[in-house]
Amino acid sequence: MTVSPPSLRPLFTVTVLLGSFLLFLIQPMFGRQVLPVLGGSPSVWNTAMLFYQAALLLGYLYAHAIRGLRLNQQLALHLLLFAAAMLTLPIGLAAWVPAQGTTPPALWLLGLLAASIGPVFFVVSAQAPLMQAWFARSDDASAANPFFLYAASNAGSFAALIAYPLLVEPNLRLGAQAWAWSGGFVVLALLVAACGRAVRGRPAPPAVPRDAVTWRQRGRWTLLAAIPSGLLLSTTTHLTTDIMAMPLLWVVPLGVYLLSFIVAFGTHGPAATRAALAVAPLALLLLGGGAFLSIGSAATLFAIAGVLLLFIIALALHGTLAVEKPGAGALTDFYLWISVGGAVGGAFAALVAPLIFDWSYEHPLLLVAAAMLIPAAGWSQRLAPLWERTGIRIAVAALALPLSWFGGAAVAGRTGGATLAAAVVLAGVALLTAGRPRLFGWLFAMLILTLGGWAQIGTSRSGARDRSFFGVYTVQDSPTQNYRRLLHGTTLHGVQSLDPAKATVPMTYYAPSSGVGLAFVAAPRLYGPAARLGVVGLGTGTLACYAKPGQAWTIFEIDPVMVEIARRDFSYLARCKPDARIVIGDARLTLAAERPASFDLLAVDAFSSDAIPLHLVTREALRVYGRALAQDGILLMHVSNRFLRLQPVVAAIARAEGWTAMVREDSPADDQPRGEYTTRSSWIALARNPARLAALRATSGVEWEALDTDPGVTAWSDDFASVLPVLKRPG
């Protein structure tokens, strides 16, 4: 009686699942470690995502390249790479990489990632396709259809993305996270060795014939994978720009993106794909039609719509990939070109787009590309015969352009009614053309141009916008209100009156009644005529107009583009403090390089849109500020935010470090004079000497209050921070 060998399916499933879990756990974990060395810009995460996609591609290339070797040789080589990668454990920032200087931030960050986690990420990224190829060559009953391992890989990835922000980050410090991950890496190496030994000991199965794969197929696989990958990063840019650069928000689009893979390649993938293909045209029109609109206070609503649209498009395109997947003989080839597509989409969104566009044009462009690529299905397919005649298609496409131009922004004296009418007509005709993807995509492009696109292009052509690694800046004039304002993302970052008589009046969050205004006005009385003042975050240069003769001013700004804007488009610096010393670089690093006790007053206002540079609100950051301040100096921190309750965080940090704190809540008057613009603001004043805060309160003539506290909020540190307890409830 012949006894069948035990199934290898459980062993390989656990191995693939653990590898993918580690692969996607390290992404937000290491992103969190990187933030303190390169600011809180959303581009930090997008650049990191590009590295992960590129490293994944290299891992897949390696797995594809060694498929012709004997299993013994593959096992030996792969375990050797595991052993070499273990020399870099525990994971952490490579100490030998030079500090960021003249190198472009994106390229420097890619180098840091490669040096720090490149070896372990490469090895882990290769194990999933390699394990699937090994299993396909075994004599297991499931070997002919190893795609269940692909589902296991996606499940492990998705589990990691849920676990990190909800379980790992709130409960483990970064050091403990690094050691736990390193332990998982060692376990993975042992499982890979067990898989190799199990397959090596089996009789060799009949050779699996290589499926014939054309370059046309490879190109299509690449394109189907590239569009969702690019949309993943462009959607993430919005979330992290307007809320916060943190793992909790990084993983939302990435989790949705992975979920689309799981569903598409799962048991019910074909049915789910058909549903996504059927709903995609309508979703693009309803959820993507406003891709060019300025979202302002509706950021959360647009974010939810963007994530939902990402899922529908990704499921439609990934589902199409699943339908077109080849047999087991072309398995590694298939995964390789999916990975190529992921890297291409990531490179376009993270590297190319910021260089060639001054606004986030990559997002609407990717939506249009998706509209043209998603196959017609169901009801839309039945509409295709309506547009069989080429002449009709050409006529509709030609008429759509002037209609969009008229309704959008190109005709003087246009009205909101004209814009709405044009949008309704374009959307209605587009829906009828859903069976013809290219025509539908063109009409969809005309729709989004109508709804804000022409206006955005006009702003770009006017030269009133700049883009850098750290964000998109837009300068706008309001002739009716007689002021000029600066937007960073969708958040106001400064206003200056166009009336020469009021051009030196500080406005917005920096008005004389604000906490920072009160403190800077009081500086001569608190510290004498030669007071030394420091500012973290230049903005429009508004605070410079509190400068008095004899004072020494130093301004720390991470982005050279912001310095150019402050000098080119605003006159605060030129009028009030042209000799102010400006230091370029991340505040944590540049302040640490200053001489101890260099400042009497230090104001920290370094937000990027509503995103908080988390590394500037930690215990370690307060120590850096304290070193730069005189012993009796005062620190001002701007904590106005639409999404987070930062007062309890700062209160916990102050308490842990032995500082005293109070807050000034300033609200604008209802009857502001024309040309003035004061906004609600919250500024926290901190000092090691309580008497200094008492003196500030006495000279202010207005009320300062005690900070809100929350026993459930722990003082943030570089090693530990969780935003879950301080998220504001909607409404």
- Whether 225 and 322 map to the same domain: the answer is yes
pLDDT at 587: 85
H helix or E strand, kind and range, residue 688: none
Over residues 344-366, the mean pLDDT reads 91
β-pairing, 629-638 vs 599-604, is: parallel
- Least Cα distance to 174 among 33, 14, 348, 318 occurs for 33
- Whether 151 and 240 map to the same domain: the answer is no
β-pairing, 581-584 vs 660-666, is: unpaired
Distance of CA 656 to the CA centre of its chain: 31
Q: Is residue 88 part of a domain?
A: yes
Calculate the CA dihedral of residues 142, 143, 147, 152 and round it to 10 degrees.
70
- Whether 47 and 121 map to the same domain: the answer is yes
pLDDT at 598: 96
Using DSSP's 3-state secondary structure scheme, residue 167 falls into: helix
Q: Look up residue 68 and give its DSSP letter.
A: G
* Residue pLDDT, tens place only, 146-166: 667 777 888 888 899 888 888
Residue 548 φ/ψ region, left for φ over 0, alpha for ψ in the -120 to 50 degree band, beta for the rest: beta
- Whether 272 and 341 map to the same domain: the answer is yes
CB 92 within 8 A of CB 178: yes
pLDDT at 1: 39
pLDDT at 244: 54
Domain boundary among 347, 374, 401: 374
Lowest mean per-residue pLDDT among 107-116, 200-209, 333-342? 200-209
* Residue pLDDT, tens place only, 78-91: 999 999 999 999 88
Q: How far is CA 700 from CA 209, 514, 526, 685, in A?
A: 82, 10, 11, 12
β-pairing, 532-536 vs 552-557, is: parallel
Over residues 586-590, the mean pLDDT reads 84
Q: Which residue has the tokens 């009828």?
A: 432
Q: Is residue 65 part of a domain?
A: yes
pLDDT at 102: 64
Question: In terms of pLDDT, which residue wins out, 658 or 613?
Answer: 658
- Least Cα distance to 543 among 568, 569, 514 occurs for 514
Question: In terms of pLDDT, which residue wins out, 169 or 474?
Answer: 474
pTM of the model: 0.83
Domain residues for 336?
213-374
Lowest mean per-residue pLDDT among 128-142, 330-344, 657-671? 128-142
Q: Report d(CA 50, CA 63) in Å as an integer.
A: 20
> Residues near 718 by Cβ (< 8 Å), separated by ≥ 6?
36, 174, 615, 618, 619, 620
Over residues 93-120, the mean pLDDT reads 81
Q: Is residue 495 part of a domain?
A: no
- Whether 362 and 346 map to the same domain: the answer is yes
| pLDDT of 2 above 50 | no
How high is the mean pLDDT of the chain?
Answer: 86
- Whether 219 and 362 map to the same domain: the answer is yes
Over residues 318-323, the mean pLDDT reads 92
- Whether 198 and 245 map to the same domain: the answer is no
CB 640 within 8 A of CB 666: no
pLDDT at 3: 44
Using DSSP's 3-state secondary structure scheme, residue 603 falls into: strand
Over residues 120-132, the mean pLDDT reads 88
| pLDDT of 35 above 90 | no
* Identity of the amino acid at 349: A
- Whether 47 and 166 map to the same domain: the answer is yes
Over residues 697-714, the mean pLDDT reads 90
- Whether 387 and 368 map to the same domain: the answer is no
Q: Is residue 484 part of a domain?
A: no
Q: Is residue 208 part of a domain?
A: no
| pLDDT of 657 above 70 | yes
Question: In terms of pLDDT, which residue wins out, 584 or 203?
Answer: 584
**Structure token pair of residue 449:** 């141009």
- Whether 133 and 3 map to the same domain: the answer is yes
The share of the chain scoring above pLDDT 90, in percent, equals 44
The share of the chain scoring above pLDDT 70, in percent, equals 88
- Whether 147 and 266 map to the same domain: the answer is no
pLDDT at 242: 54
pLDDT at 6: 63
Most confident among 345-354, 490-499, 601-610 (mean pLDDT): 345-354
Number of independent structural domains in the chain: 4
Partners of 467 in beta bridges? 472
pLDDT at 412: 44
CB 666 within 8 A of CB 515: yes
CATH number at residue 100: 1.20.1250
pLDDT at 410: 52
Q: Report d(CA 602, CA 533) in Å as an integer.
A: 6
- Least Cα distance to 126 among 314, 345, 327, 339 occurs for 339
Q: Is residue 497 part of a domain?
A: no
| pLDDT of 271 above 90 | yes
Q: Is residue 475 part of a domain?
A: no
**Residue 585: pLDDT band by 50, 70, 90 thresholds?**
confident
Q: Is the dihedral of CA 412, 416, 417, 418 positive or negative?
A: positive
Q: Is residue 474 part of a domain?
A: no
Q: Report d(CA 391, CA 434) in Å as an integer.
A: 17
Using DSSP's 3-state secondary structure scheme, residue 37 falls into: helix
Domain boundary among 345, 374, 403: 374
| pLDDT of 449 above 70 | yes
Question: In terms of pLDDT, which residue wins out, 141 or 533?
Answer: 533
Domain boundary among 203, 230, 250: 203
> What counts of helices (H) and strands (E) characterise the chain?
26, 11
| pLDDT of 57 above 60 | yes
Q: Which residue has the tokens 């102010």?
A: 580
- Whether 332 and 399 map to the same domain: the answer is no
Alpha-helical runs (H) found in 502-598: 515-527, 560-568, 572-576, 587-592
CB 632 within 8 A of CB 265: no
